[in-house]
């Protein structure tokens, strides 16, 4: 079978690929090798799939359904492997092999076309928040995961660079960076976090109704992880005449339901929305940038 990467993946990787990166060119051969090594039977490539990896629905030699995932090194697949190993299926998809080729993960098969996002909004937020709570555990001793301070430090540097060239985003960038500095000055207890959690990252499963997939794990405070969930369905929020008040109520409701400080959640929501908006602007997605930066202005 030819492993043609979905166009969504091709476009997304093209936005972020460093010069000389040939991962996409080598992907079809790497996928063939990974399938042959594990004696897998391929059903189909998941389309449209994600923005950072190729996802292939397969069956193992004994007929068990599984998922083969291949991701480039810059998306830290080995950190994902380490986090999934630590969670051991609690709240997250189960890793089916402890080690494998670099950037290759064999995972429990969930229902790839059924995410929490398919539920009504209030129910979706409730189920997503409950899943996220199960992931917030102590990180393993001697872990090598990136910290929130490290990740957001790199992001803040890139945000400032963009603001120096695009004056219109300067005030929001300044507010977001100031919020980050204040939040990091006195951080609460650290936990292992999903890192990129949102409704579409929670899929229906068999052994439990909902399980998280696709972590980009990081160690830090829980409010950082919850912040991305606040802006889920941002298009609907922007389209609503009461979007700003809905957003503020959502911050309050999520903070209370997960025992997170409301102001810290608001601060990280601001930082993450501005960072995503500025990044979208930088890679040539002005419509996404406009939505995200308008949302950030409500905070």
Q: What is the pLDDT of residues 4-28, one digit of tens each?
A: 888 999 888 887 777 778 899 999 9
Q: Around Cβ 259, how many Cβ atoms within 10 Å?
A: 8
CA distance linking residue 84 with residue 197, whole number of Å: 14
134 and 264 fall within a common domain:
yes
Residues 27-54 have a mean pLDDT of: 92
Beta-carbon contacts of 210 under 8 Å, excluding residues fewer than 6 positions away, are 116, 127, 128, 130, 131, 202, 203, 204
Residues 120 and 174 in one domain: yes
- Helix pair 262-282, 170-185: axis angle to 10 deg: 140
Does 199 fall in a domain? Answer: yes
98 has a pLDDT exceeding 90: no
Are both 101 and 144 inside the same structural domain? no
Query: Residues 79, 124: one domain?
Result: no
Domain boundaries, position 67: 7-109
**Is 139 part of any domain?**
yes
Token duo for residue 281: 């602007």
Give the CATH number for residue 15: 3.30.200.20
The answer on 189 and 149 residing in a single domain is yes
CA dist 124 and 260 (Å) reads 19
Residues 37 and 166 reside in one and the same domain:
no
Does residue 68 lie in a domain region? Answer: yes
Residue 1 resides in a domain = no
- Crossing angle between the packed helical segments 262-282 and 286-297, to the nearest 10 degrees: 160
The answer on 67 and 17 residing in a single domain is yes
Question: CA–CA separation, 165 vs 187, rounded Å?
Answer: 31
pLDDT digits (tens, 9 = 90+) for 209-240: 999 999 999 999 999 999 999 999 999 999 99
Total structural domains in the chain? Answer: 2
């Amino acid at each position: 079978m030819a492993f043609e990467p979905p166009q969504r993946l091709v476009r997304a990787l093209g936005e972020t690929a460093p010069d000389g990166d040939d991962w996409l060119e080598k992907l079809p051969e790497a996928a063939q090798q990974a399938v042959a090594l594990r004696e897998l039977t391929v059903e189909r490539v998941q389309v449209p799939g994600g923005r950072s990896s190729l996802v292939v629905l397969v069956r193992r030699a004994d007929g068990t359904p599984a998922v083969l995932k291949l991701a480039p090194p810059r998306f830290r697949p080995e950190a994902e492997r380490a986090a999934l190993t630590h969670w051991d299926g609690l709240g997250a998809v189960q890793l089916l092999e402890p080690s494998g080729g670099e950037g290759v993960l064999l995972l429990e098969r969930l229902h790839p076309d059924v995410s929490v996002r398919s539920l009504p909004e209030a129910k979706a937020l409730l189920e997503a928040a409950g899943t996220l709570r199960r992931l917030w555990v102590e990180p393993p001793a001697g872990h090598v995961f990136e910290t929130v301070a490290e990740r957001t430090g790199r992001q803040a540097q890139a945000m400032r660079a963009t603001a120096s060239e695009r004056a219109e985003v300067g005030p929001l960038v300044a507010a977001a960076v100031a919020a980050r500095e204040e939040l990091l000055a006195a951080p609460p207890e650290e936990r292992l976090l999903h890192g990129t959690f949102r409704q579409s990252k929670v899929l229906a499963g068999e052994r439990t109704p909902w399980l998280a997939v696709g972590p980009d794990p990081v160690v830090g405070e829980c409010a950082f992880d919850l912040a991305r969930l606040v802006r889920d369905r941002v298009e609907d929020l922007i389209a609503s005449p009461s979007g700003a008040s809905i957003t503020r109520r959502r911050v309050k409701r999520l903070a209370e339901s997960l025992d997170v400080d409301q102001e810290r959640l608001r601060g990280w929501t601001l930082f993450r929305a501005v960072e995503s908006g500025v990044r979208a602007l930088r890679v040539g997605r002005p419509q996404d940038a406009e939505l995200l930066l308008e949302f950030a202005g409500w905070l």
